[in-house]
Structure 1
Amino acid sequence: MIVDIRALNNYNIPDRYPIPRIPETLTPLSKAKFITSMDAMKGFQQNALTPHARELLRIIAHCGIYEYLRMAFGIENAPSHYQIMMNTIFPHELSEGWLIIYIDEIIICSETWQSNLERLSLVLRKILQLNMKRSLKKCNFGFHEMKALGHVVSGLSLCVDKNKVSAVLLKQIPQDKNEMMSFLGFASH
């Protein structure tokens, strides 16, 4: 069943929980020699709804009444709620500075292969205890360099992923006022 729940967002009180800024989030990678990343499988749908939230997301259709049991895609506060959930699960790991969480992506930073394995084991135990699913296709284990959060990261460098900015790189240099205005419109998106 496909449901457009955008109208519900008009009545939603925006959640002000901060989503981490990507450049600051990736700072701990500066000393990492081994990096592991794991992305959630249908991340928002792993976030259980309260009974009150289920009532708000009740759908009346010609074939019956349905309620979401998990966070629906398109809810305005879904990213911040997911970030809160993940930060609550891993408070000690985050405070130690070797774990990065950006909404549904987990990144483990380590200076040695052994510590990467130990940290991965700790994180996986918590994930399994909570029955959280990870997308194996989107997992990278123990790399020296990898793509994460739109950047190519390693212990030596932090670069923007060229695939993410290819349209900007291919854009011609403006030659006159009209082309400059066109470029500024392009750049603002």
Structure 2
Amino acid sequence: MLRKDRQAFAIGEEPLGKIRDHYIELYLDVKRRYSPMLRKPPYPESLETRKEIKKHINELLDMDVIRKIGHNETVEITTPVLNTWNDGKSRLCGDLRALDNYTKADRYPIPRIPQALEKLAKAKYITKMDCMKGFHWNRVK
């Protein structure tokens, strides 16, 4: 399997693997229609933080996770936010709070650890997403 589906795996600094022909469909209940022109200006950031954000954006461009857009394209844009850990590493996130005004709250509770472990105990196979930007591996429709 590993040899056959080699393109699905990334090792070290290689580009992300691609899970072909598999899409995740996300559905949001909306209160009202979301305006694609809803924009917020970037937050004020230090020069060092802006450089770090640009570094993350270039890394995502190199991995084909995001792409540059044309001048006439209308796209959904979110304000980038840099989260930094104590060890100096950082992660680029998007501030999606503006969407809260357009979507209904999801009241489904997060499962408690004992219930999750009970379900895992009965599993035949256990998998995990790759720790290196695993969220970006799945294509979303």
Do the two structures share a fold, i.e. TM-score over 0.5? no
Which TM-score applies when normalising by structure 2? 0.23
Greater relative contact order structure (CA < 8 Å, 6+ sep): 2
Identify the structure with the greater helix proportion: 1
Which TM-score applies when normalising by structure 1? 0.18
Larger Rg: 1
Identify the structure with the greater strand proportion: 1
